[in-house]
Amino acid sequence: MSELDNFRRETRAWLEDNCPAGARGPGPIPIGSTKVALSDDSRIWLERMIAKGWTVPTWPKQYGGAELSKAEYGVLIEELSRINARSPLTGRGVNYIGPTILELGTDEQKSRWLPMCARGEGAWAMGYSEPGAGSDLASLATKAVLDGDRYLVNGSKIWTSDATECDYIFALVRTAPEKPKHEGISLVLIDMDQPGVSVSPIRLLSGKSPFCETHFDNAVVPADDVIGGVDNGWTVGKRLLQFERSTHAGINTSGSQGGREVSSPVRGILERYVGIDNGRLADTGLRKRYLEHSINVDAQRLTQRRAIEESQARAPGFTSSAVKLTNALNLQEADELMMAAMGTTGMTLTDDSEDQHRIAAMTRWLYQKSLTIAGGTKEIQLNIIAKRVLGLPD
Ligand SMILES: Cc1cc2nc3c(=O)[nH]c(=O)nc-3n(C[C@H](O)[C@H](O)[C@H](O)COP(=O)(O)OP(=O)(O)OC[C@H]3O[C@@H](n4cnc5c(N)ncnc54)[C@H](O)[C@@H]3O)c2cc1C
């Protein structure tokens, strides 16, 4: 038996013994946050996975990881999927800022922040977008001015997802307004539990408020908490975006369970609403679309795997834009297929509907439209692919 087979056998046995029933199945994945209470099973699951170093399986042991190889990490993902285990910890700590600090932080920053990320001590918000800086991120205006051994930050960030539940925010701020716009930016870590930080939720049509505006009014940042060097934030911030896009694409090998495949309900819904005729979907048009979709999903999975295997660093570089975009387009096509199969009966958000799967499909269809905006829009990804992957002229 090979070493990898041994690892699989031991992993399978350990997961069977240690993953509580309440940590298996679908449902929201807890983010590390001191403001969100975990169920008992989620807490036990998180503690056991922390002890194994499997909340950040590929990170060095000294920072809370298990130093798994890519192959072992792949096995772990497969075994977690096999028993339908929920991610013990996810979010911007393990997936975005953690890998960035691991790659570009000083030793002191790594020792201070990474074990916290690995243990889920505190959830992180992302402070990039501003009212006047979305796709054109380098136009950001939030300022940080050095005041002794600390920076004072003033300005506002918009679309800061989950900020009401977060303990920290990593933010791109302008530290040298006199320099050209890409050269005067720094990435700083801000404790949100201080008088200089306030959060206002943005209420959506659905009544929910996953988005917020986060305001800084002389917010204090220790000068040590600039990641990757002062005025080097454009480079550091772009690398973090690659980790974000890799996570969206399911190819983040540094964070928790980035490569995990989530099963889609599309086939079941099509069979239920369109019907089966001689073992095939009864509607010719939808059958053809579903076949094309299935081929695209398979191609996507193979590309994901290739991107992970080929990447030298902890996450692929510009390729992450291509995989993120195609992943988003596949998920959106799955939603469109489900809505086409259900027709007007699918248009429901009322809780008294007998068919909960219709509400789930409708909510998913509406939510996943954001996948071609969040983490950089479809057009921005296409621009990156054209210039950086295909090498077309600027
Ligand atoms: C679900 C969700 C979660 C988000 N969470 C966060 C978060 O936590 N933190 C955060 O900082 N931000 C977050 N965002 C914001 C997100 O990063 C921005 O919405 C995104 O970068 C686009 O910026 P914008 O909304 O200002 O649109 P704009 O930049 O104004 O773009 C408007 C339109 O113009 C197009 N466009 C712009 N420039 C070009 C160009 N050069 N070439 C071609 N087309 C172009 C865009 O593709 C888009 O269609 C989130 C967004 C969503 C939808």
Does ligand 1 come within 6 angstroms of the Cβ of 170?
A: no
Does ligand 1 come within 6 angstroms of the Cβ of 134?
A: yes
The predicted model scores a pTM of: 0.93
Does ligand 1 come within 6 angstroms of the Cβ of 156?
A: no
Q: Looking at ligand 1, which residue's alpha carbon is closest to its atom 26? A: 134
pLDDT tops 70 at residue 387 = yes
Q: Which of 37-41, 78-82, 143-147, 277-281 is predicted most confidently?
A: 143-147
- Check residue 183 and give its pLDDT: 97
Beta carbons of 195 and 216 less than 8 angstroms apart: no
DSSP lists the bridge partners of residue 217 as 154
Mutation choice for ligand 1 from 129, 140, 188, CB with most ligand atoms inside 8 A: 129
**Structural domain spans, the chain:** 3-97, 124-236, 264-389
Q: Position of tokens 């979305």?
A: 134
The pLDDT confidence band at residue 308, using thresholds 50, 70 and 90, is: confident
Q: Which of 91-95, 104-108, 266-270, 366-370 is predicted most confidently?
A: 104-108
Instruction: Please indicate whether the domains covering 124-236 and 264-389 agree at the CATH topology level.
Output: no
For 286, the token pair is 């939808």
Distance CA 198, CA 188 (A): 17
> Which parts of the chain are beta strand (E)?
124-127, 143-147, 150-158, 168-174, 185-191, 197-202, 211-222, 226-227, 276-277, 280-281
The type of residue at 10 is E
pLDDT tops 80 at residue 324 = yes
CA of 370 to the centre of ligand 1 (A): 10
Atom of ligand 1 nearest to the CA of 367: 1
Tens digit of each residue's pLDDT (9 = 90 or more) over 132-173: 999 999 999 999 999 999 999 999 999 999 999 999 999 999
The pLDDT confidence band at residue 206, using thresholds 50, 70 and 90, is: low
Classify domain 3-97 at the CATH topology level: Butyryl-Coa Dehydrogenase, subunit A; domain 1 (1.10.540)
Does ligand 1 come within 6 angstroms of the Cβ of 376?
A: yes
Does ligand 1 come within 6 angstroms of the Cβ of 379?
A: yes
More confident residue, 36 or 164: 164
More confident residue, 18 or 86: 18
pLDDT above 90 as % of the chain: 67
Active site positions, annotated: 244
Tens digit of each residue's pLDDT (9 = 90 or more) over 209-233: 788 999 999 999 999 999 999 999 9
CA of 377 to the centre of ligand 1 (A): 5
- Check residue 87 and give its pLDDT: 84
- Check residue 351 and give its pLDDT: 64
pLDDT tops 80 at residue 30 = no
Distance CA 244, CA 175 (A): 24
Beta carbons of 96 and 65 less than 8 angstroms apart: no
Mean pLDDT for the chain overall: 90
205-209, 248-252, 359-363: least confident range = 205-209
CA of 139 to the centre of ligand 1 (A): 13
Which CATH code is given to the segment(s) 124-236? 2.40.110.10
Does ligand 1 come within 6 angstroms of the Cβ of 237?
A: no
More confident residue, 257 or 6: 6
Average the pLDDT over 190-207 and give the result: 90
For 172, the token pair is 């791109």
Of the candidates 322, 328, 327, 320, the residue with the CA atom closest to the CA atom of residue 372? 328
Pick the CATH number of 264-389 from 1.10.10.10, 3.40.50.150, 1.20.140.10, 3.40.30.10: 1.20.140.10
Average the pLDDT over 322-340 and give the result: 93
